[in-house]
């Protein structure tokens, strides 16, 4: 029994209908059951392109067009189907040109016995090409899959690194808060202790000075009365009178008597300044009383500034104040004092000798603003973006911990406020703290802190 005929779908580009019969017969003889679709023009070719074809057979010259034009249409579609030129009149030269343009073979109509083997070979080669393409596709897919897996893995690793970094940051921040809280507590206790210790002797010094002023005033009046008896004494007891005169000269009695009132005044002034400082220290040191309260914010700022006057004086920095008044603000006085203290201390540190630092408070609608401006060196550009991070400092070791601003930032956050800085290198820095006058009035945000 002979082998069954193999189906073969053929696109046949040919303007001679008789040629189809020849081809069909030749293919049947070679064991194929051809299904031939014949087209005559490029337009028909385009319309027929979609079909699945095993092979394209094309005449060389079709009126105005040639097999090369047909080939171009086919290639433009990106189809890889064996393309064989079957022509009655085509020289070897044209055949070579056609093959260079992508035709797979060319056959003369007078030698159709070559057709079947050529188709056979081209189908095998097309299969080979398909297999290679499939292998390449598989390789490309495997590559893509691998790349996707590497990408996913990299992202995983980055995520892990990120969360580790975040955990580390959180730890650093928590540690900073702890250190600062302890620093504050210790500092507060020390300040409160000193204020208390100074307060007792200060109280009796102030009392005694008042008594002394009265008594010394009386004694001075008495001495003046005695002086009126000078002439009598000189006559009655000249030696004694001489002795008294010498003693008075050594004492420079007239000077002492004239300047006593001024000295009392400056002593009283000094004492009241010490008293004010002690009171300020006590206000400032109420660090344990961290409760929110409706209290005068300006008073806290003023007392904090007074605490820093010594530090300012050391560098001959003038502290100028322009306080609101902003009145009562719902806040934690001890903590906001701490913020002001950090900002003003930084401003003093940044100021040149003889510079000045301006501290202002003002109302701005439902907010109060505290601004601290200096005309120092400004914030170094390389740290500008990080100054609110803990442990970021440009001060020499032992002078700055780099915690002041990070703690201040946290405190202002707790108050639902914000802290902003503007600085021009070489022209100073201005920090502005904005706090809600009453954060209870900020709807629905009460319970956050
Ligand atoms: N007014 C300012 N002018 C210029 N630089 C400033 C000013 N305020 C802060 N800085 C910069 O920000 C850094 C961080 O300030 P921060 O108050 O957090 O820490 P510190 O002052 O260095 O140390 P600490 O306050 O803990 O003693 C400072 O070291 C300084 O470089
Ligand atoms: Mg500081």
User: What is the DSSP code string of 86-136?
Assistant: EESS--HHHHHHHHHTT--EEEEGGGGGGHHHHHHHHHHHHHHHHHHHHHH
pLDDT for 320 equals 96
pLDDT for 287 equals 45
Residue 291 Cα to ligand 1 midpoint, Å, equals 27
Q: Is the CB of 373 under 6 A from ligand 1?
A: no
Taking CA atoms only, the protein residue closest to ligand 1 atom 27 is 400
Substitution candidate for ligand 1 out of 400, 401, 422, 429 with most atoms within 8 A of CB: 400
Kindly state whether residue 196 falls inside one of the protein's structural domains.
no
Residue 253 Cα to ligand 1 midpoint, Å, equals 55
Provide the domain limits for residue 314.
Answer: 289-449
Angle at 313 between CA 312 and CA 314, to 5 degrees: 90
CB under 5 Å of ion ligand 2: residues? 346, 404
Separation CA 119–CA 82 (nearest Å): 8
pLDDT for 422 equals 94
Q: Which CATH number do you get for residue 322?
A: 3.30.565.10
CA-based nearest residue to 52, from 25, 80, 18:
80
Kindly state whether residue 49 falls inside one of the protein's structural domains.
yes
pLDDT for 102 equals 84
Kindly state whether residue 414 falls inside one of the protein's structural domains.
yes
Angle at 181 between CA 176 and CA 183, to 5 degrees: 95
Q: Is the CB of 408 under 6 A from ligand 1?
A: no
Answer with the one of 75, 103, 131 that is the final residue of a domain. 103
Answer with the one of 69, 86, 103 that is the final residue of a domain. 103
Contacts 24+ apart (CB under 8 A), 120-128: 122/55, 122/82, 122/84, 123/54, 123/55, 123/82, 125/82, 126/80, 126/81, 126/82
Substitution candidate for ligand 1 out of 187, 358, 387 with most atoms within 8 A of CB: 387
- Overall number of domains in the chain: 2
Q: Which residue has the tokens 């200096």?
A: 374
CA-based nearest residue to 345, from 385, 400, 384:
400
pLDDT for 150 equals 93
Kindly state whether residue 61 falls inside one of the protein's structural domains.
yes
Residue 336 Cα to ligand 1 midpoint, Å, equals 17
**Proportion of the chain in helix, strand, coil states, percent, rounded to 5:** 60, 15, 20
pLDDT for 447 equals 38
Angle at 33 between CA 27 and CA 34, to 5 degrees: 65
Q: Which residues contact 94 (CB under 8 A, 6 or more apart)?
A: 60
Q: Which residues contact 321 (CB under 8 A, 6 or more apart)?
A: 301, 302, 305, 358, 359, 360
Q: Is the CB of 347 under 6 A from ligand 1?
A: yes
Separation CA 75–CA 85 (nearest Å): 15
pLDDT for 185 equals 67
Q: Please give the number of the atom of ligand 1 that sits closest to the Cα of 390.
A: 18
Kindly state whether residue 71 falls inside one of the protein's structural domains.
yes
Answer with the one of 103, 118, 135 that is the final residue of a domain. 103
Kindly state whether residue 172 falls inside one of the protein's structural domains.
no
pLDDT for 172 equals 80
Kindly state whether residue 246 falls inside one of the protein's structural domains.
no
Helices 253-284 and 238-251 pack at an angle, to 10 degrees, of 40
Q: Which CATH number do you get for residue 65?
A: 3.40.50.2300
Q: CA of 414: how far to CAs of 87, 190, 227, 291, 295, in Å?
A: 92, 26, 71, 12, 17
Q: Which residues contact 86 (CB under 8 A, 6 or more apart)?
A: 14, 19, 23, 57, 58, 59, 106, 107, 108, 109, 112, 115
Give SS3 for 348.
helix
In this structure, are strands 418-423 and 429-436 parallel, antiparallel, or unpaired?
Answer: antiparallel
CA-based nearest residue to 57, from 12, 97, 99:
12
Kindly state whether residue 211 falls inside one of the protein's structural domains.
no
Separation CA 175–CA 209 (nearest Å): 49
Q: Is the CB of 419 under 6 A from ligand 1?
A: no
Q: For the CA atoms of 379, 380, 386, 387, what is the dihedral angle to 10 degrees? A: -40
Residue by residue, pLDDT tens for the chain (449 residues) are: 467 889 999 999 998 888 899 999 999 999 999 999 999 988 898 888 888 899 999 998 888 888 888 888 888 888 788 999 998 876 777 778 888 888 888 888 888 888 999 999 989 998 898 899 999 999 999 999 999 999 999 999 999 999 999 988 888 877 776 776 677 667 767 777 888 888 889 989 999 999 999 999 999 999 999 999 999 999 999 999 999 999 999 999 999 999 999 999 999 988 988 887 787 677 666 544 567 889 999 999 998 998 899 889 999 999 999 999 999 999 998 889 989 999 999 999 999 999 999 999 999 999 999 999 999 999 988 888 889 887 789 998 778 778 788 878 888 988 999 999 999 888 999 999 999 999 888 755 443 33
Residue 279 Cα to ligand 1 midpoint, Å, equals 28
Q: Is the CB of 402 under 6 A from ligand 1?
A: yes
Separation CA 327–CA 85 (nearest Å): 101
Q: Write out the H or E segment, with its range, that includes residue 85.
A: strand 83-87
Q: Is the CB of 180 under 6 A from ligand 1?
A: no
Separation CA 82–CA 120 (nearest Å): 10
Q: Residue 401 is encoded by which pair of tokens?
A: 């911990």
Q: Write out the H or E segment, with its range, that includes residue 56.
A: strand 55-58
């Amino acid at each position: 029994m002979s082998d069954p005929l193999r189906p073969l779908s053929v696109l046949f580009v040919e303007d001679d209908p008789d040629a189809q019969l020849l081809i069909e017969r030749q293919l049947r003889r070679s064991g194929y059951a051809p299904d031939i679709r014949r087209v005559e023009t490029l337009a028909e070719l385009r319309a027929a392109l979609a079909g699945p074809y095993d092979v394209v057979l094309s005449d060389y010259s079709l009126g105005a067009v040639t097999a090369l034009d047909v080939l171009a249409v086919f290639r433009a579609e990106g189809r890889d189907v064996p393309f064989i030129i079957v022509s009655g009149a085509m020289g070897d030269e044209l055949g070579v040109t056609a093959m260079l343009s992508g035709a797979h073979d060319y056959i003369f109509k007078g030698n159709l016995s070559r057709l079947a083997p050529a188709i056979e070979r081209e189908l095998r080669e097309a299969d080979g090409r398909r297999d290679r393409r499939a292998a390449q596709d598989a390789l490309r897919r495997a590559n893509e899959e691998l790349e996707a897996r590497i990408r996913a893995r990299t992202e995983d690793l980055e995520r892990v690194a990120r969360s580790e970094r975040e955990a580390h940051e959180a730890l650093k921040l928590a540690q900073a808060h702890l250190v600062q809280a302890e620093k504050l507590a210790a500092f507060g206790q020390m300040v409160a202790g000193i204020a208390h210790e100074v307060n007792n002797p200060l109280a009796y010094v102030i009392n005694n000075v008042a008594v002394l002023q009265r008594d010394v005033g009386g004694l001075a009046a008495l001495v003046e009365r005695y002086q009126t008896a000078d002439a009598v004494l000189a006559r009655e007891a000249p030696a004694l009178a001489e002795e008294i005169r010498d003693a008075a000269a050594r004492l420079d009695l007239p000077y002492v008597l004239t300047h006593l009132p001024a000295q009392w005044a400056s002593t009283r002034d000094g004492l009241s300044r010490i008293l004010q400082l002690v009171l300020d220290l006590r206000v400032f040191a109420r660090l344990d009383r961290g409760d929110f309260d409706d209290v005068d914010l300006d008073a806290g700022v003023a007392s904090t500034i007074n605490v820093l006057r010594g530090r300012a004086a050391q560098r001959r920095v003038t502290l100028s104040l322009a306080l609101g008044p902003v009145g009562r603000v719902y806040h934690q006085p001890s903590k906001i004092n701490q913020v002001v203290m950090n900002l003003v201390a930084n401003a003093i540190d940044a100021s040149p000798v003889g510079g000045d630092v301006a501290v202002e408070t003002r109302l701005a609608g439902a907010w109060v603003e505290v601004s601290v401006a200096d005309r120092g060196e400004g914030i170094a550009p390389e740290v500008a973006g990080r100054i609110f991070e803990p442990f970021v400092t440009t001060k020499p070791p032992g002078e700055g911990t780099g915690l002041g601003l990070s703690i201040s930032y946290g405190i202002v956050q707790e108050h639902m406020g914000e802290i902003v800085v503007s600085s021009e290198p070489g022209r100073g820095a201005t920090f502005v703290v904005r706090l809600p006058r009453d954060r209870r009035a900020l709807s629905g945000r009460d319970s956050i802190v």
